[in-house]
A = this chain, B = another copy of it.
Amino acid sequence: MKAISSRENPLYKELKLLASSSQARRKAGRTLLDGVHLCEAYLQHGRLPLFCIVSEGSAVHPEAAAIVQRCEVAKVPCIVLPESLFHPLSQVEHGVGLLFVVDTPHLAVPENLTRSAVLLDNLQDPGNLGSILRSAAAAGIEDVFCSKTTVFAWSPKVLRAGMGAHFLLNIFDNVDLQLLVGSAHVPILATSSHAEKRIYDLDLKRPVAWLFGHEGQGVSQELLDLASCRVSIPHLGGVESLNVAASAAVCFFEQVRQKTA
């Protein structure tokens, strides 16, 4: 295990950039996995990081030590940092100080939508995106398409909220959703509190694509006009709308209910 103790070290400078800048992560095609849970999930999915970074204090922690050992056996460069250098890289407070540097997958967008998917138009909140990815993975949906204006899926906050769902999904970035929706071979369903058709009245055993949008403004009008169907989640109370991640979970699991009925 190599030690880095200078803030001027080029690799450390790269780590600082990856920790702080979404633009840097997109440009480098790399991101940081923060904490034992995410790093373990990454290894469990048969992938190896580019670097394994551990804080001095955590190097002796059994869970971290086991992961470092697995990395060393697999010839992954492992680096130990003093707490003062590790701290600015991590968003996990009071946790075990462990980070992976990993490549973010860059997937070519398929020409046509032919199976169940999630389409995200201008979604802003990292916690919402992480929750939607987690729900999609739990519901057996494999493909997620994010518009250019949607928060970057491989940012540390989204990764934390996703709890490892990223590694099970095909996440397509920077997607022209209008093009995708226009050529889709599956129904595109957009939720709207004003729609007459209820999600419970749809046949969701067949593949469908769910379209969700911005937390405040919803899906853009251009995309709504292209969608096959606007559907509603019936409400019983005095509130007119749900949080977008809650809404997505209700839709995905109505699909699961119908499929497993």
Contact = CB atoms under 8 A, between A and B. Distances in A.
Nearest to A256: B236
B245 A139 contact: no
Counting every copy of the chain, the complex holds 2
Interface stretch (A75-83, A104-112, A157-165, A171-179): A157-165
Given A138-B242, A243-B134, A245-B131, A235 B256 contact: yes
A141 interface: yes
Q: Select the residue from A127, A164, A261 with max chain B CB neighbours within 10 A.
A: A127
Contact of A238 (B137, B256, B261): B137
Interface in A56-80: none
A239 interface: yes
Contact of A135 (B136, B139, B246): B246
A236 B260 contact: yes
Nearest to A246: B249
Nearest to A135: B246
A253 B233 contact: yes
Interface in A134-157: 134-141
A260 B200 CA distance: 10
A236 B139 contact: yes
Interface in A215-242: 233-242
Interface residues of A, number: 42
Given A161-B243, A200-B257, A138 B249 contact: no
A134 B253 contact: no
A131 B243 contact: yes
A139 B237 contact: yes
Nearest to A136: B237
Nearest to A141: B237
A138 B261 contact: no
A48 B119 CA distance: 41
A250 interface: yes
